[in-house]
Amino acid sequence: MENSIPIEAVCVKVFSKISASVSHEIKNVLAIINENAGLMEDLTLMTEEGQGIDPTRVLKVAKLLEKQVERANKIMKDLNTFSHSTDHQVMSIHLGELLTLMASLTVRQAAMKNITVEVSSPGATQLHINLLFLESLIYLIIIALIGTSQEGGKLDIRTEINNTAVQIIFTTEPKDQTLTPEIQDDNIQMLAKHLDVSLQSSGSQVSLSIPIEYVK
């Protein structure tokens, strides 16, 4: 039975999931900052009471706060980049940057299963494509792979290019896992069909093949 959900609705759902994940990450950052701000206040009170304080304790708290601010900036920068995917229907994007962005936007889901995600995309391949649709497709594939991966495993994302297509190859490790990625999901299949890209799954590997015509 053909999926009757508009493709735009699938993208909205992806956007909502990413926004929810980012909000959780920002909330965690704020909680850490709030906790350490309280510690800094305690250290200040100790100083007022004439108690000696090891300067390294203050420096440690300051460095931790700085690290969390950097983390929050990175999270918001990624969300902002993704949000601009709707600026134009068709946009150009560096493939490596695209994959790195989508890996970053799924970091919370990967962390929940202690899964390491690595991206390798040498070269300067530029795609001219409906960016939001492709990002949504890649996001759903990564989430599906994380969902079927063993805890503490690894997801490797690499690219290959030949005369006919650009391939994005997703490989989960360990390779003896028993679960198969649900790439037959209606939303994944609908996005792939709309973009005219092909998907293949074999054991622990999923391959997304993008026609060379999209390369600019």
Mean pLDDT of 150-176: 89
pLDDT at 101 over 50: yes
Amino acid at 147: G
3-state secondary structure of 145: helix
Lowest mean pLDDT among 11-15, 97-101, 153-157, 184-188: 184-188
Q: At residue 202, does pLDDT exceed 90?
A: no
Average pLDDT, the chain: 88
3 pLDDT higher than 60: no
Query: What digits encode the pLDDT tens for the residues 55-95?
Result: 788 888 889 999 999 999 999 999 999 999 988 889 999 99
How many angstroms separate the CA atoms of 77 and 83, rounded?
10
Angstrom distance (rounded) from CA 166 to CA 170:
13
Domain at 88-214, CATH class? alpha beta
Q: What is the token pair recorded at 65?
A: 């706060």
In terms of pTM, does the model score above 0.85?
yes
Share of residues in the chain with pLDDT > 70 (%): 92
What ranges do the domains of the chain cover? 7-84, 88-214
User: How does residue 1 score in pLDDT terms, banded at 50, 70 and 90?
Assistant: very low
